[in-house]
Amino acid sequence: MQLRTQVAIIGAGPAGLMLGALLARRSIDSVILEARSREYIEHRIRAGVLEQGTIDAMDEVGAGARMHQHGLIHEGTILRFGGRSHRIDFRALTGKAVMIYSQHELVRDLVAVRLAAGAPLELEVEDVTLAGIETDRPSVRFRRGGHETVLACDFIAGCDGFHGVSRAAIPADRLRVFERDYPFGWLGILADVAPSSHELVYAHHDRGFALLSMRSPSVSRLYLQCAADEDLGRWSDDRIWSELAVRLAADDFALATGPITQRSVTPMRSFVAEPMRHGRLVLAGDAAHIVPPTGAKGLNLAIADVRLLAEALSAFYDRGDAALLDGYSETCLRRVWKVERFSAWMTQLLHRHDGHGGNAGHDLEHRLQLAELDYVTSSHAAATTLAENYVGLPLR
């Protein structure tokens, strides 16, 4: 079977779905290919902090109604260390805020918009291969329901994540990779209990990092620093709540507990692949970069990529102007590296680091972290830097 479109989008995560929606607003045809089922992509629990740019993109494509109804506006966040809480006031420092709205809900909204428009969304596809990316006639071959299809296109957008096929289609000698795997992870839980704080709490503790977050007024999302290969079987509900209570402790704080409905271990990685374009293949989101989740940037960085890509493709199709496409990788990477820096800094600042220096080495690291946390929470300039990065850097 042969099909034709202008842009073939690999991956129906936030990046691929948002790109498809942005292109549709610009009258550019696309087909989205996804290996997983609709049930899977709409229930995959991921990030939940939206920058203003992500909120604006959802509104632009007509997918923001539920987000505004159920999303929680946060005008600040809390850094907790030494048993004391220190609030970083985003609104006062930057004039901006963030919104708590789960990624899987955002995906549901984008899927609904695409299906309502009758735009092609091919789910549960197999054996996806890319061809002709160094020519002006690229194509994507895939199988669905036992039938093979060749999708001819002008461009291929690789939005298929870290383990997808898109980045692997770029010749190894044309790709430069930068990466760091952290020696710890996050044990994350969802719990049917009202959040114990109206804003996120980032807790530095000698036993390890903890984060109090939420998905709604009745559902809490919490994390504990753990070993990268942590055995979940060793963590009973009682042990999880007990450890969270210790790490999140403060004089004015009481941790509410409830039924734990999900638990998982999230690895921590910093990763960037350069360039983000090769021929007629462009990468976006996790296919090109991964950030540790400490700064809540992965989803937002992916949306920023496709906002830039949609502008570039619009200029190409509307005016025959390829300048933005030619500069896509450089423009994205300038922002990507700043976000990588912030995410790595937050990770370094808040986690326990057991290096080769033994207890003395850990004690030194611990004291340096406390000194920096004290500086960030007592200096207007330092607090502003954190707030500016957290609410979202400019698109360019």
Q: What is the pLDDT along the chain (396 residues), one digit of tens a residue?
A: 899 999 999 999 999 999 999 999 999 999 999 999 999 999 987 778 999 999 999 999 999 999 999 999 999 999 999 999 999 999 999 999 999 999 999 999 999 999 999 999 999 999 999 999 999 999 999 999 889 999 999 999 999 999 999 999 999 999 999 999 999 999 999 999 999 999 999 999 999 999 999 999 999 999 999 999 999 999 999 999 999 999 999 988 999 999 999 999 999 999 999 999 999 999 999 999 999 999 999 999 999 999 999 999 999 999 999 999 999 999 999 999 999 999 999 999 999 988 544 555 578 889 999 999 999 999 999 999 999 999 999 999
Residue 338 annotated as catalytic: no
Evaluate whether residue 333 is within a structural domain. yes
Domain count, the chain: 2
Catalytic residue status for 390: yes
| Neighbouring-strand partners of residue 32 | 9, 121
Q: Full-prediction pTM beyond 0.85?
A: yes
Report the alpha-carbon distance of residue 227 to residue 197 in Å, rounded.
26
Domain region containing 310 = 2-74+96-178+269-344
For 162-310, list the strands marked E by DSSP.
176-191, 201-203, 210-216, 219-227, 260-274, 277-278, 281-283, 289-290
Tell me: do 224 and 315 sit in the same domain. no
- The verdict on 309 and 363 lying in the same domain is no
Say whether both 121 and 196 belong to one domain: no
Same domain? For 25 and 61 the reply is yes
Residues 68 and 188 in one domain: no
**Token reading at 81:** 């260390």
Of the candidates 312, 338, 314, the one whose C-alpha atom is nearest the C-alpha of residue 390 is 338
Q: 101, 182, 202, 328: which one is catalytic?
A: 202
298's tokens: 């992965």
Q: In sequence order, which residues have a C-beta less than 8 Å from that of residue 100 and are 6 or more positions away?
A: 48, 49, 50, 71, 72, 74, 200, 213, 214, 215
Both 153 and 25 in one domain: the answer is yes
Same domain, 30 and 144: yes
CATH number at residue 18: 3.50.50.60
Indicate which residue of 14, 195, 293, 328 is catalytic.
293
CA distances from 317 to 25, 308, 323 (A): 13, 15, 12
- What distance in Å separates the CA atoms of residue 283 and residue 155, rounded to the nearest whole number? 11
Catalytic site residue 293? yes
202 is catalytic: yes
Same domain for 284 and 250: no
Note whether 106 and 163 are same-domain residues: yes
Which is catalytic among the residues 104, 289, 297, 351? 297
Evaluate whether residue 79 is within a structural domain. no
Asked if residue 62 belongs to a domain, the reply is yes
Bridge pairing between strands 210-216 and 201-203: antiparallel
**110 and 258 fall within a common domain:** no
267 is catalytic: no
Strands 277-278 and 210-216: unpaired
Please indicate, yes or no, whether residues 369 and 329 belong to a single structural domain of this protein: no
Q: Tell me the CATH number at 360.
A: 3.30.9.10
Of residues 74, 104, 204, 351, which has the active-site annotation?
A: 74
Among residues 298, 258, 304, 232, the alpha carbon closest in space to that of 44 is found at 298
